[in-house]
Structure 1
Amino acid sequence: MSSKDWLEKDFYAVLGVSKSASADEIKKAYRKLARELHPDHNPGNSASEERFKAVSEAYNVLADDRKRKEYDEMRSLFGSGAFRRGARAGGPGFDPSDLFGGGFSGAGGQTAGDRRFGGAGFSDIFSSIFSGGAGGTRTRGPARGRDVEAEVVLDFGSAVRGTTLPLSLRAPGVCDTCHGNGAKPGTTPRTCPTCSGSGLTTRNQGSFSFSEPCRDCQGVGTIVDEKCPECLGSGGVTKTRTLNVRFPAGVSDGQRIRLAGRGEPGDRGGPAGDLYVLVKVRNDELFGRVGDDLTLTVPITFAEAVLGTDLKVPTLDGSVTLRVQPGTPSGRTLRARGKGVTRRDGTNGDLLVTVEVVIPATVDEAAQAALRTFAEHTPGADRERIDSRLRRNEEPTGGERGWTKS
């Protein structure tokens, strides 16, 4: 979660509680919303799923005393969405990480006792903001681009074998007309006279001074007099780009694939973010999957189960013949080794074939006669334990034998 998320998202409003809500009130509100919005109770409802994620995100912050304190202090200092970089030109929002060298990040990953914002604790951030610290006049450096998420639906066979597909994305990118500086071609941005290019201004408040983003240049450090006609001075435009994404053999439903450096471009020469591709796999009409094994149910006749047979079954890349031994019961699973999902080490899982004996609903007279003959020449079902239990239940108790009607 980025620092911008912390500033722009009102977690109290998401949970429907006040800022002074107790921990028990927050927990109660979360549990109520989580039950109502859980994907299991709202299948196929994408809006409900997004709200469920937002509620979980809010609770993750507000349920942790340290995170909640840091969140409250950040929003008290900067205000929700109060500063926007390039807001007048429709550009991306101001990120408070710019005040601290691009390293400011919400919470997560570190232990509670050593959680840091960009390598510096919250007290260190205060020392940078207020006079006496070097951070008050720090020039903004490169900032990493945002991560991008996309979703791809694969058919069952492509997920098992692996495939490469083109993926079209619409995401912010550097304007090709002005190359990101926001100025009309032939002109250049000028250094902001108010902040001397630092992007920050300092004002005194009693015994200390407070640094904040420059209001004249929106914290950028430069002013564009003649704006680029393509991006209107923001330096960025929404682009459509196509990437060839390789999905490895054996990719599973719900798996996320990370493509480093294929996300949004960074600011001021910073590295690009990453692209995360969420994989959805369509169900197959024949095959199922359990880990690295494929599953298949094949119907066989009563005669095949009794007499045995050579059973030819399909695989994803052809077919294989399995031997059904005489007397095979319905529900037995046969294994075709190496006909399953390809693993990372190059080996394959197995194909698990479950045979299902099919009993016809009706048979003609000739078949009935054959079955009667079959029954005469085969032993009956072994139901001795059941029959003995029935006999015991039908015998009168001792009290019943000695009872007479008066």
Structure 2
Amino acid sequence: MSAEIDFYELLEVERGADDATLKTAYRKLAMKFHPDKNPGCSESENRFKQINAAYECLKDPQKRAAYDRYGHAAFQQGGPGGFQGGGEGFSDIGDIFETIFGNAFGGGQRQARRGADLRYDMEIGLDEAFHGKSATIEIEVAAGCEPCAGSGATPGTGTRRCTMCGGHGKVRAQQGFFMVERTCPTCHGRGEVIEKPCRACGGEGRVDQPQTLDVQIPAGVDTGTRIRLSGKGEAGPFGAPPGDLYIFIHVKRHPVFERDGTTLLTRVPISFTTAALGGSIEIPGLDGTRHEIAIPAGIQSGKQLRQRGAGMPVLQGRGRGDMVMEIQVETPTRLTARQKELLRELQATETGEECPQSRGFFDRLKDAWTDLTE
């Protein structure tokens, strides 16, 4: 590619364009100049290769930073990185250690670059978190190219040894007192280059396509639970292993229950007569069971009653947590004349012993006032 052609101009984007803008521009131009759409046109084929090279550089943060600073000289022999063997300047102290200590730090070995991991956020209800569920999701993911079986090469063609690195996948250069080894910028560490790139994937060995996946959500999940689907992430380039898909769970608020781990919390309003005389109430659990709760006579607002084993299931374990009910005594606001009459009769019989907390408070208040006035 001619050094005078600016990568940003090739992709028709501003220099500050974000990753999404770069990707959109690349897809649009790649489709426009794809050899299949321009059969026999060498100019379109050359432009298609230039666009691919520009995008390969700009989508990589390190390469883009080097290009923004030095332009094409960043990837040429004798460029600012100081390489005489054709390559990029080192950007990581690990490159130096890799050369000095060899295989102890992974040096000298070509490894396939694994595909990227993906994240999917799923919102479910509390009842679904209680029972678990089967769900079907749809995602767009870079999958292995079928025509070339992920190799990146046109079917019937192959690869040849990279002349830049001699098939080693790495290039070396003197950097001060050190001999620095770095991934070959031409073959990207593969040690070989594709003779004729696959037209379907542009030589990358993968294409974006929608996928439908069945997911099993276990009982007991909570907000923040992460479910890993091995090998369901993006396909690696040139047939490398795929990454993983991580599903992050978000549990929606429930109209009755709040959750604290495996404990279900709810606030239960009761009438003041039930609070005074005692009784029972029924609370339906998330499992569909109706739990009868005994209300002891004289219960106060804020008192908590616990129903063992009526809470959330233990994730990937046995048993269930508890259901905790916080009692709230409700003062009546709509009384009939007869009800008011009965309450006045009750009030007339009160001695103060019925409500020891109230009597104790006012006794303490009276003593404190007396101390202040003496």
Q: What is the TM-score of this pair, normalised by structure 2?
A: 0.66
Where does residue 259 of structure 2 map in the other structure?
A: 289
Which residue is equivalent to 1:329?
300
Name which of structure 1's ranges 364-373 and 251-260 shifts more when overlaid on structure 2: 251-260
Deviations, residues 318-342 of structure 1 (Å, cap 9, x unaligned)? 2211111222222222222221111
For the pair 1:338 / 2:314, whether they are aligned, the reply is no
Structure 1 residue 294, shift from structure 2 partner: 0.8
Q: Secondary structure at the match of 2:221?
A: coil
**Is residue 390 of structure 1 aligned with residue 363 of structure 2?**
no
Contact 1:315 1:339 in 2 (8 A): yes
| From 351, 357, 366, the counterpart of 2:338 | 366
Q: Measure how far apart 1:178 and its partner are.
A: 1.2
The residue aligned with 1:82 is: none
Q: Which moved more, 1:172-181 or 1:133-142?
A: 133-142
1:169 aligns with 2:142: no
Higher mean alpha-carbon deviation, 355-364 vs 228-237, is at 355-364
In 2, distance between residues paired with 1:351 and 1:278?
Answer: 26
Q: Is contact 1:143-1:269 (8 Å) kept?
A: no
SS at match of 1:329: coil
Distance 1:172 1:371, change over 3 A: same
Instruction: Pick closer, same or farther for the CA change 1:89–1:223 going to 2, 3 Å.
Output: farther
Q: Counterpart of 2:344 in structure 1: which amino acid?
A: R
Is the Cα contact below 8 Å between 1:338 and 1:349 reproduced in 2? yes
CA distance in 2, matches of 1:386, 1:171: 71
- Partner amino acid for 2:264? L
What is the rounded CA distance, in whole Å, between the counterparts of 2:302 and 2:104 in structure 1? 74
Residue in 1 aligned with 2:203? 233
User: SS in structure 1 opposite 2:99?
Assistant: helix
Measure the CA separation in 2 of the matches of 1:394 and 1:206: 89
How much does 1:126 deviate?
A: 3.2
Alpha-carbon separation, structure 2, partners of 1:308 and 1:136: 73
Q: Distance in 2 between matches of 1:244 and 1:213?
A: 38
Partner of 2:72: none
1:11-51 Cα deviation digits (max 9, x unpaired): xxxxxxxxxxxxxxxxxxxxxxxxxxxxxxxxxxxxxxxxx
| Cα pair distance change 1:169/1:234, threshold 3 Å | same
User: Which of 79, 99, 117 in structure 2 is aligned with 1:126?
Assistant: 99
Alignment partner of 1:197 is 2:167: yes
Q: Is the 8 A contact 1:137 1:198 kept in 2?
A: no
Shift of 1:367: 1.3
Residue 87 of structure 1 contacts residue 93 of structure 1 at CA under 8 Å; is this kept in 2?
Answer: no
Change (3 A) 1:373 1:274: same
Q: Tell me the number of residue pairs that the alignment of Structure 1 and Structure 2 aligns.
A: 287
Task: Report what 2:80 is aligned to.
Answer: none
| Structure 1 residue 206: Cα displacement | 8.0
Match of 1:56 in 2: none
- Separation (CA, whole Å) in 1 of partners of 2:268 and 2:106: 73
- Aligned partner of 2:29 in structure 1 is none
Normalised by the length of structure 1, the TM-score is: 0.61
1:143-154 to structure 2, matched below 5 A, reads 143-154=113-124
Alpha-carbon RMSD across the aligned residues, in angstroms, is: 3.4
- SS in structure 2 of the partner of residue 361 of structure 1: coil
Q: Secondary structure, in 3 states, of the residue corresponding to 1:283?
A: coil
Q: What are the equivalent positions in structure 2 for 1:157-306 lying under 5 Å apart? A: 157-203=127-173, 209-267=179-237, 270-306=240-276
> Any idea what the Cα deviations from partners look like across 1:299-324, whole Å, max 9, x if unmatched?
11111112222211121122211111
CA contact (8 A) 2:161 2:191 kept: yes
Q: CA deviation at 1:363?
A: 2.0
CA spacing shift, 1:200–1:136, aligned 2, 3 Å: farther
Return the offset for 1:152. Answer: 1.1
* Counterpart secondary structure, 1:159: helix
The code of the aligned residue for 1:233 comes to G
Change (3 A) 1:145 1:394: same
Instruction: Please tell me whether residue 351 in structure 1 is matched to residue 327 in structure 2.
Output: no
Give the equivalent residue in structure 2 for 1:55: none
The alpha carbon displacement at 1:385 in A equals 5.0
Say which SS state the counterpart of residue 370 (structure 1) adopts. Answer: helix
Give the unaligned 5+ runs of structure 1.
1-85, 97-119, 399-406
Gaps of 5+ in 2: 1-51, 64-92
Residue in structure 2 matched with residue 99 of structure 1 by the alignment: none
User: Shift in Å at residue 136 of structure 1?
Assistant: 12
